[in-house]
Amino acid sequence: MESSSVSAVESQRFILLPLYIYPDTAAWEPLFSAVLRHPNLQFTVVVNPANGPGNRHATDANYTASLLRLSSLANVTILGYVYCSYGERPLEALKLDIKTYRGWCGEQSIQVDGIFFDEAPSGAELVEYMAEVAENARETLGDVARGGATTVIYNPGVFVDQAYYCSADYIAVFENRVAAWDSAYVYSNLDGLPDDLRARSIAIGHSAGDTSMQMHFAEQVACEAGFAGHFATTVGGYTQWCPNWAAYVRRAGCWAEAED
C-alpha cells in the first residue's frame, strides 16, 4: 500500500452489510444466526442509528443490547456510518460523528472498529478532504478497534480517482441496481483497476430481479472481478432483510471455505 496510515488489509473476502434496521425485538436475528452458522465467513457491518450516530454518546437500550451482542462475535467488524455529502459536508461535522462513535466504546463497551464514509466524493480535487477525515478516524478509534487497526471504507458508489486508495482500506466503487453491473461503464473501469486495488474494492447491488440475478452478481463481484467485499439483495434498500439472505450467506460461505 502507498500509505503507512492504511491498516493492514486481510485478503479474505467479506460481506459488507448496510444494517440500517432498527434492532427492536428480534430484528437483527438473521444476522446473528448467519454469523454463528458461518464462523469462517467475515461480516463487515455498518450501523446507522440516525443518519450517523445521532447527537448523543449513548445509544438507546435496544441498540446497546444488540451492539454489545454483535461486539462479542469474532468474525464481525463493526463500522459506524458517517455521510460526507460528496465532499460538501464540513470536516468538523464528520469528525464530531467519529468522536460520538468513540464515545459509545467508552460508555457502553460497544465495539466500533472503523468508519463507513457514505456519499464520499470521487474526483481528484477532494482526495485530501477524505485523507484528513480518514486520519482522524484512525486517531480517534485506533485504541478501541480490534487489533488496533481501524477500518476505513469510502462509499462513493462509483469508480474513483485511484489516489483515494492511499487513505482508505476499501472503497465501494459500485452501489446501484444489480442490473447496472453488466455495463460498459463498469467493465471499462474494471479494465483500468489493477488487481491489488480490486482486492481493496467493494460492490453493493440492490433491487435484483430474482434470486438467480442476486447470486450471479455476487459471484461476478467476488470470484470474477476479485473484489474483497460484496453485498447483494433483491430488496430496494437496506431497512429490511432480503428474503434470500440466508441462501446468499451460504453461497458466500462456500467461497470463504474455498479460500482456506
The enclosing domain of 154 has a CATH number of: 3.20.20.80
The verdict on residue 157 lying in a domain is: yes
**Does 112 map to a domain?**
yes
Has residue 118 been placed in a domain? yes
Tell me if 186 is assigned to some domain. Answer: yes
* Domain contains 3: no
The answer to whether 119 and 86 have CB atoms below 8 angstroms apart is yes
By residue range, what is the domain housing residue 75? 14-259
Q: Model's pTM, two decimal places?
A: 0.95
DSSP assignment letter at 243: T
Assign 12 to helix, strand or coil.
coil
CA distance 173 to 176: 10
CA torsion sign for 222, 112, 153, 81 is positive
Domain count, the chain: 1
Q: Give the pLDDT of the chain (260 residues) as one tens digit per residue.
A: 344 357 655 558 999 999 999 999 899 999 999 999 999 999 999 999 999 998 765 678 899 999 999 999 999 999 999 999 999 999 999 999 999 999 998 767 789 999 999 999 999 999 999 999 999 999 999 999 988 899 999 999 999 999 999 999 999 999 999 999 999 999 999 999 999 999 999 999 999 999 999 999 999 999 999 999 999 999 999 999 999 999 999 999 988 777 76
- Among 44, 47, 50, 53, CA closest to 10: 44
Q: Determine, yes or no, domain membership for 203.
A: yes
